[in-house]
Amino acid sequence: MASASAITFLRSIRAVSAQYRGSVGQLMGQAVASGPGCASVCADMMGRGAARNVAANRIPIMKKNPLGRTGMEVSQLCLGTMTFGTQTDEADAHAQIDAALAAGVNFLDTAEMYPVNPISAETVGDSEAIIGNWNARTGRRGDYILATKHSGEGMQAVRDGAPITAETIPATIEGSLRRLKTDYIDLYQFHWPNRGSYMFRKNWQYDPGGNDRAEVLDNMAGCLEALKAQVDKGNIRAFGLSNESAWGTAQWLRLAEETGGPRVASIQNEYSLLCRLYDTDLAELSVYEDVGLLAFSPLATGLLTGKYQDGAVPDASRKTLNPELGGRHTDRVYPAVAAYLEIARRHGLDPVHMALAWCHTRPFMASAILGATNLAQLEHVLAGADLTLSQEVLEDIDAAHRAHPMPY
């Protein structure tokens, strides 16, 4: 279960993070590495109780992974922000950013269309604006890697559903920079391809046809040229994809090499114990081409916490707003969740920590994106960030996957 001492530490360090403008996560790592003598270093800044937790080596250490070939490294957990402005108010959102950075998270992900639950034209951009207000208030923009996204074709709340083109990119980036109150974006992602995607349960009846190949490739080449201009201006540092396929990613890589445009650094696709579409062709591409996965919904919209078992619908949960959980609510999913919950119980593990620790074992994983509705949920996750699963647990998970493949 979650370490009470770790959660206590996170809360105590959050209280001082607004005053301390350096990297608290780095201080934590240095303190743990220093051994018991670190208490005297930490005491004045964090309070004696928090320092004792560090000295006892009970604070999770946040591993970092390469972000493609960019030279940047991102923490194995990324703070997702898609509820900032709807389910999560600004005060709680800012507290989450404080706590995440204090725990060694150096990676935040957002999008121009956020928040969700629900998506509306009136709230488009609000999540970016909340992050921007935190940047302006704290002056700590340089302490983390910031990712945002350009919406794809069909999102009526943004540009009336216009596709991503060389013409839409400059103004869209400028809008994000303005809301985020920053002069650069570390990772700029295309939220989904114009030609469509098999994500979000569309894989069951996926038809890859309907687009002219030459037009698709011409659009890609034009977008890469526009992105290169943004890199040259210093507006963005790197380029990533989301909800993308192996063919699409391969084309972006090939065209970048041919044109000198920015190389794809990452793919943000859904991935969890319950959703493993990434495990074959995309996995191979990721490993050989150094294009890491940024896994969204690693807890399967909360299903893997167990909170929706036996028909339960907790107050203010995502299921109160979206009863079908985006197509994940099926007859098959709850027995699958039960199998993973039983593995966690049998091995004395918190199911949330187990699900995330399993993600970190995958050879293509760059970071798992954590979306917490409130600070307490985030603290629970952060307390188990350093869990390593035994071979026995991994074998049990493999058996459960074989018994419950593709439950939605």
The pLDDT of residue 267: 98
Distance CA 102, CA 242 (A): 28
Instruction: Tell me the C-alpha to C-alpha distance, in Å, between residue 339 and each of 275, 349, 359, 404.
Output: 15, 14, 17, 8
Would you name the residues annotated as active-site residues?
Answer: 114
Is-contact 155 195, C-beta < 8 A?
A: no
Distance CA 3, CA 359 (A): 20
The pLDDT of residue 11: 52
29: tokens are 């790592």
Q: Is 207 left (phi over 0), alpha (psi -120 to 50) or beta?
A: beta
**What are phi and psi for residue 2, nearest 5 degrees?**
-60, 140
Amino acid at 196: G
The pLDDT of residue 17: 41
Distance CA 57, CA 32 (A): 6
Q: Which segments of the chain have a pLDDT < 50? A: 1-2, 9, 13-58
Provide the strand spans (E) within 46-172. 64-66, 73-75, 77-80, 107-109, 145-150
Amino acid at 153: E
SS3 sequence of 220-234: HHHHHHHHHHHHHHC
Distance CA 330, CA 403 (A): 16
Is-contact 16 71, C-beta < 8 A?
A: no
The pLDDT of residue 50: 35
Which residue has tokens 């018991």?
Answer: 36
Amino acid at 203: N
Distance CA 222, CA 261 (A): 10
386: tokens are 């350093």
293: tokens are 């996965």
Residues with Cβ < 8 Å from 20, sequence gap 6 or more?
45
- Pairing mode of beta strands 73-75, 64-66: antiparallel
Q: Using alpha carbons, select from 201, 113, 110 the residue that is nearest to residue 161.
A: 113
Instruction: Tell me the C-alpha to C-alpha distance, in Å, between residue 343 and each of 151, 353, 386.
Output: 38, 12, 19
Is-contact 343 354, C-beta < 8 A?
A: yes
Instruction: Tell me the C-alpha to C-alpha distance, in Å, between residue 207 and each of 46, 48, 161, 173, 199.
Output: 56, 60, 21, 31, 12
Query: Kindly report the CA angle at 158 between 156 and 163, in degrees rounded to 5?
Result: 80
20: tokens are 């301390």
The string over 121-151, giving b where at least 16 C-beta atoms fall within 10 Å of a residue's C-beta and e elsewhere, is eebbbbbbbbbbbbbeebebbebbbbbbbbb
The pLDDT of residue 7: 52
Distance CA 299, CA 297 (A): 5
Is-contact 326 297, C-beta < 8 A?
A: no
The pLDDT of residue 79: 98
Rg, C-alpha atoms of the chain: 21
3-state secondary structure of 260: coil
